[in-house]
Structures are given as C-alpha cells and as structure tokens.
Structure 1
Amino acid sequence: MAQPVTVFRWDDPGAPQLVDGKPSEIINILTKCLVDGYGTQLPLGWTRPFYDPVNQAAAFRNNVAAGGSGGYTKIYSNDNSDANHALMRITHAVSMTDISTLVKQGWTHAFATINATGDNRMDKWALIGTATAFYFFISRNAAPMGENANSYYNPTIFVGDFFSRIPNDTGRFITIATTGSAGDTTNASSFTQTLDFWSSQPPGTSQSLIKIYNADNAAAFSSYTIKLSGINGGSSGDVGFAGEPLGEHALVNVMIFMLSSSTADGSKDINGVVLANSVVSPLFRGVLPGFYDSFAMGYRLEPWPKIIGINGDDYWLLRNSHRGPCHLMIKLGEWNDPFSGS
C-alpha cells in the first residue's frame, strides 16, 4: 500500500517560523504541519488530543482512518519553560489518557536547538511525512551536507508507525531522536542526538534505541536498534566525496532489529517461540518508512537541503554530522510498505 508523502518547509508561503528555538515554536510548527495546515498546505491529518501551553507540552496522534495505529507521541520542554533553545524531550506511547498519563510508554529521547548566530543560526526546518509517520529536521542557516557538527548539530527526529513484518502490529508506533543508547535517562543533546549521525557511524548492536511493545498488545516489550547496509561514511573530508558519487545508487531499507540477539543463541519470545520465528517480538521487526541507505556516497560540500533523483523518484538526503560523505535518504512522493503484498 502506497502512502502519499507531503513535504513542509520553513520557506513555504505562510509557514511558521523558528526564531529562537523555543519549545512553543517547535510545538507550533508540528501543530501546523500535522493538525492545522498553513497557507495552501493541508495538514497530514493527525490530531493533538492533549496540550498544556503553560508547561509547553503537547501530544499528537496519528490517523487511524488512514491506516495508522493510533499511537501517541508527547513532546515537551524538559524544565517546563519556554526559554530560548530549551532542551526538549520526546517519547511515545500506545495510548494516553491525559498529557501526563502514558500507557505502554517508550524510551524518552532529547534534542535541542543551538544558540548561534550567522551561518550557524538554527532557523530552518522541514517535515516530511504522511498521515501515519513523519521525519522532522531542524537545520543551520548555511552549512554543507557533510559538515563538522560537533558544536552545531542539527536535530532530526522520526515519529510514527514503522512498516512491520507482523500484520496489525500494535507496537509499531515509535519515536527516535537519539542515536546512542536511549532509555529513560536521556536528558542531554549532542551531535549524536541526531539521525544525521548514522551517516557517519551506524548504531551499535548494544545501543537500545527503541522500546517496542509486543505485536499482540501484551504488556511485554523488547529493546530494538537500527541496522543499516554496513557502510560507515565516517568523517572523511576527501575531495572525492565533495559532489555526486561516481557509482550507481543501490538502496537498502533501514531495518529495525532486536538488540543483541541472533538466530544462533536460541533465545525465545514469551510464548516459547524462537525469536527468528516470533510473531510477537521477532528479531527483525520491520523497516522505517521511506528511509533508505545507499551504497554510493558523496555530496559532502553540497548545500542543504539536497534532493537527488534515483530511477525517477526524488529523495531527501540526510547530512553527515562528521564532515564526511552522505548516503542516507528519505523517499519523497510516496512510501511503500514492503510487507503489504501490494
């Protein structure tokens, strides 16, 4: 089943602006893209069932009628303030009953904009998404695709349903904003707190990025991580990576795998089924929608944002946060569920 994709940007007519990196600005951008729309842009069809403007917290839910799980994400100011460049936290849940009560909550991740001026000012944003999932980017005013972002990292976030290999997976709604181990103690932000970092260094097998509940709606959960093609873009500033790569792109789905498990260790799920064959918590759970890894890399000195064409489709290229080449991308136009059979 194909899901139509919409791209929202800071430079759209009537788009909300990111001025000081306040939590209220970020919540307003998400609200306009997901729920209300702006200018001639229609929203993605999400809802905002809970909102606390005093403490700068909002909860968003994806569209069940459009095939969504009905999962929730909560995004909020870490200290309840609306200060410039305040630390934000984000989490997900299978359901919520109010802004403070999350049922089957996932890990909590953190991100923040950086207080900077000139070319490093963080005043650009983009959101790419559907009625069931989205990617959100905050970017510097002027910086190449392969940048040294140790001090001026660019927050990148995924929220929503992944494409699960288990039909009607009730645990498929997730959030990711951290590339290192997450858990519930994530309360800081750095250049590793951005999906851009995966272009430099793929997640490790011991990094618990995502807390995903069992597919059968049980209370049990497992820790999952991300698996890429195995290419490590690193931080090479070689001039050969400055522009278009010479080789053809070969795209691989960005996969969701159970943490530190294998088919060889005999591990079983709560029903006594080996994890490779589990239908509640399998080793390979699914893929991130529209997210691909390419075996060709480059574009290091190209300006952001960079959209490339591959076999008639357009892709939004992710940065490399360590001044190296780029090879991760998000498909525009539509996202196709590889497990839907259509």
Structure 2
Amino acid sequence: MIHTTPKAVTLFSSKDTGAPKLTASAGSLKTLLKACLVSGYGDKQPLGWEMPFEQGHVAVFRSKSPESNRHFLRVDNAAAKFVICEGYLNMTTASAGTGKFAYNNNYDRFGYCEYDRNEQPNWWLVGHDKAFMFIAAKRSLNDTSILFFGDIPSIVPQDTGNTVLFSNSSTSEYLSTRSLGFINSSDDCLL
C-alpha cells in the first residue's frame, strides 16, 4: 500500500505579476525554472529548491528538503525552443554526474515552444519542495507539453528513493519527445 502525506502546492503562472516570459530563445525555460524553483518573482516565493550548479544555459536543480532523495535535474537550454533534461543520482559539476537516468539520442529533449512561434504565452508550474510539474499550453489547451521531476511514493514498503523524470510533447513543437525515466532505491529503468 502506498503511504502518502498531503503537501500544499504552489501554482505559478504566466498570468502572475512579474512572471518570466517563455520565449523561443536559448535560456528562456532555464530562467523560468530558476525563478519558480529557486529565486521567486513578483510576490511569489520559490518552491524551496536549490541550484547547486549553473554554467551558461545549463542549470542543475534539486530539492532542499531533508525528506527528499535529493536527486538532480540537469537542464541544458543552449538551443531555442527545447531543453535537454537529464536526471542524476549525484553531480559534481554542471556537466559531470553519476547514475544518469534519461534517454539519449535526442529523446531527452523537451520541446516547450511551438515550431512557428517566438513566444509561448501560456504556462503553469505547480509543485512543492519535493516535486514539480511544468505545463506549456499550445494554441488549444488539449495540446500541451508537460515536464515532471521529483519524488513519488513507492508501493515497496520503506522504499523512499523513487524519482521520476517525465516529459511529453506533441508533434506541434520544435522537437517531439515521449520519455519516462525513473530511478528507485534498488534499480534504475527507462520506459
């Protein structure tokens, strides 16, 4: 049986006062994630994550919660309209880590801006100190990009090491990806 503890979540939105713009330029999603997770914006407080490494358009995020498994999310936003997302068990620099859980060969790309747009006007990030979901809406709300990273409950008794890295995208964005990467305390898998 899964044992869960309810957690309050915070909703960030492109409609918030002082919210960062999501554009097709390099670094845009990295900057947005940094604002929501680490530094805050306007009157919004951040989710309480940290960014132990930042180098150019690359940022590494992880939860500061002592109850979290504290795995790392590496986001490389050097290209326009997409980021390369990778999960790691441990990282020593913005480009070096061990226990990688992500696809390779372009399947690690998360497209956040439609191929023919310079700006993605509607976005939301909802989360707490151990997990978050980012959503970028396309021209219709039934066509979205979703990025999830963080801790999830386990069905294995006393297993607290589960982290999920999930992203999906539709065919209307710059690059399409459908990937799910996760790691648990005993093994790592990609689906």
TM range (shorter): 0.7 to 0.9
Deviations 1:51-108 (A, max 9, x none): 011xx1110011233x21111100103xx45xx42x3210101111111112211013
Residue 45 of structure 1 and its aligned partner are, at CA, apart by 0.2
Residue 168 of structure 1 and its aligned partner are, at CA, apart by 4.0
Larger RCO (CA within 8 A; separation ≥ 6)? 2
1:209 maps to 2:180 = yes
Find the aligned partners of 1:121 and 1:41 in 2 and give their Cα distance. 22
Find the aligned partners of 2:119 and 2:92 in 1 and give their Cα distance. 38
The residue type equivalent to 1:136 in the other structure is: F
Find the aligned partners of 2:42 and 2:75 in 1 and give their Cα distance. 24
Find the aligned partners of 1:161 and 1:23 in 2 and give their Cα distance. 28
Find the aligned partners of 1:37 and 1:25 in 2 and give their Cα distance. 15
1:169 maps to 2:160 = yes
Tell me, yes or no, if the aligned pair for 2:149 and 2:163 is still in contact at 8 Å.
yes
Q: Secondary structure at the match of 1:49?
A: strand
Structure 2 equivalent of residue 111 of structure 1: 110
Q: Of residues 19, 24, 41 in structure 2, which corresponds to 1:21?
A: 24
Structure 2 equivalent of residue 222 of structure 1: 189
The residue type equivalent to 1:68 in the other structure is: S
Residue 222 of structure 1 and its aligned partner are, at CA, apart by 3.3
1:100 maps to 2:95 = yes
Tell me, yes or no, if the aligned pair for 1:116 and 1:122 is still in contact at 8 Å.
no
Number of residue pairs matched by the alignment: 178
The alignment's TM-score, normalised by the length of structure 1, stands at 0.48
Q: Secondary structure at the match of 2:27?
A: helix
Find the aligned partners of 2:35 and 2:119 in 1 and give their Cα distance. 22
Deviations 1:201-257 (A, max 9, x none): xxxxxxx732424x24xxx4334x5xxxxxxxxxxxxxxxxxxxxxxxxxxxxxxxx
The residue type equivalent to 1:76 in the other structure is: D
The CA RMSD over aligned residues, in Å, is 2.4
Q: Of residues 130, 134, 146 in structure 2, which corresponds to 1:136?
A: 134
Deviations 1:10-44 (A, max 9, x none): 010111111x3223111111001001111111110
Deviations 1:160-186 (A, max 9, x none): 11111232432x12211148xxxxxxx
Deviations 1:298-335 (A, max 9, x none): xxxxxxxxxxxxxxxxxxxxxxxxxxxxxxxxxxxxxx
Q: Of residues 9, 12, 30 in structure 2, which corresponds to 1:5?
A: 9
In structure 2, the gaps of 5 or more residues are: none
The alignment's TM-score, normalised by the length of structure 2, stands at 0.82
Structure 2 equivalent of residue 62 of structure 1: 63
The equivalences for 1:29-40 within 5 A come to: 29-40=32-43
Larger Rg: 1
Tell me, yes or no, if the aligned pair for 1:135 and 1:159 is still in contact at 8 Å.
yes
Find the aligned partners of 1:24 and 1:101 in 2 and give their Cα distance. 20
Q: Secondary structure at the match of 1:27?
A: helix
Find the aligned partners of 1:90 and 1:156 in 2 and give their Cα distance. 12
In structure 1, the gaps of 5 or more residues are: 180-187, 195-207, 226-342
Find the aligned partners of 2:189 and 2:35 in 1 and give their Cα distance. 33
Q: Of residues 44, 49, 67 in structure 1, which corresponds to 2:47?
A: 44
